[in-house]
Structure 1
Amino acid sequence: MTSEPVGADPYLAARLRIAVGRLSRRIRLDTNDVPPLQLSTLTSIEEHGPLRLGELAVREAVTAPTMTRVLAALDERDLIVRSPDPDDARSTRVTLSEAGARVLREVRSQRTALLDARLARLTDEQRAAVLAALPALEALVTEE
């Protein structure tokens, strides 16, 4: 016999998963021409860079050949800068270029504007409910 955690509500969890997933997908589809893995890679580089290809592959949970293709596409668009790794002459480290940082700012701005437009469609009461729910939603994404 399995015991459910106190307060577990599968119906709530399912509805929240669906709503958050759909909202996230809608925002992703309505913005930018940077594919999701490339965008995620740029974000990882911004947050943790400079990084080696292998480190990026682990962070993005992809194979090294996949990351090689991602970095080639980003390099082709001048969104990254490759530099020699001071600790390993056979490797390079990747950082964001100015253009890469600009793309991230633009994507974030576009996505915030799209979400703002969707929030504007809500009633005052619905927006207040979303605001009141933010601390709980933010708690869901923090690590234990």
Structure 2
Amino acid sequence: MGGNVGTGTVTSRFESADDELAARLRLAVGRLNRRIRIDDSESLPPLQLSTLVTVELHGPLRLSELARREAVTAPTMSRVLTALEEQGLVVRAPDPGDARGVLISISDTGRTRLQEMRSHRTALIARRLDRLDDAQRAALDAALPALEALLVADED
């Protein structure tokens, strides 16, 4: 009866269940995120949106710091910033600590655009939540603390 204790049988059963949970969660979150992006035709491309949010949260920032935070090369970040600047969503200003450097900040237009996108995406999700019954909504509500805990290690 106790022959499986310490053999890894129980552990691999749990690892398999965790792997299945991870795969299902990845698929569900990925598909929901993709669906929201498709339904939100007014949104920015993902890297532009992520960069704008990063500037909002941590700005003003230098291009090199933005590239590091977004895990892209400096030339890629330069193109992203050019696109955001052309739309009036960010502004560049001289770095008072380094005459050669430039700091990127979110503009008032950028803040307004982000708020509009957030509101629109929240409404998209709310419409999807309306399709769920009370038990499904309660299950999502109960799962939120665990989902939010998954993000903690990635915040900076």
Bigger fraction of residues in helix: 2
3-state SS, counterpart of residue 93 of structure 2 = strand
Question: How far apart are residue 33 of structure 1 and its match?
Answer: 3.5
Q: Which residue of 2 aligns with 1:10?
A: 19
Could you say what the CA RMSD is over the residues aligned between the two structures, in angstroms? 1.8
Structure 1 residues 75 and 22, CA gap change in structure 2 (3 angstroms): same
Aligned amino acid, residue 49 of structure 1: G
Structure 1: unaligned runs, 5 residues or longer: none
1:34 is aligned to 2:44: yes
Larger Rg: 2
Aligned with residue 56 of structure 2, among 42, 46, 58: 46
Deviations 1:107-132 (A, max 9, x none): 11111110110000001111111111
Structure 2: distance between partners of 1:16 and 1:143: 17
Identity across aligned pairs (percent)? 61
Aligned amino acid, residue 69 of structure 2: R
Structure 2 length normalisation: TM-score?
0.85
Which runs of structure 2 are paired with 1:1-144 in the superposition (5 Å)?
A: 7-8=14-15, 9-31=18-40, 32-143=42-153
Structure 1 residues 6 and 80, CA gap change in structure 2 (3 angstroms): farther
3-state SS, counterpart of residue 141 of structure 1 = helix
Q: How many residues align?
A: 142
Show structure 1 runs of 4+ deviating over 6 A: none
Question: How far apart are residue 23 of structure 1 and its match?
Answer: 0.5
3-state SS, counterpart of residue 28 of structure 1 = helix
Structure 2: distance between partners of 1:107 and 1:7: 40
Structure 1: distance between partners of 2:138 and 2:64: 44
Give the structure, 1 or 2, with the largest relative contact order (CA under 8 Å, sep 6 or more): 1
3-state SS, counterpart of residue 142 of structure 1 = helix
Aligned amino acid, residue 123 of structure 1: D
Structure 2: unaligned runs, 5 residues or longer: 1-7
3-state SS, counterpart of residue 152 of structure 2 = coil
Indicate if the aligned counterparts of 2:43 and 2:117 stay in contact, CA closer than 8 A: no
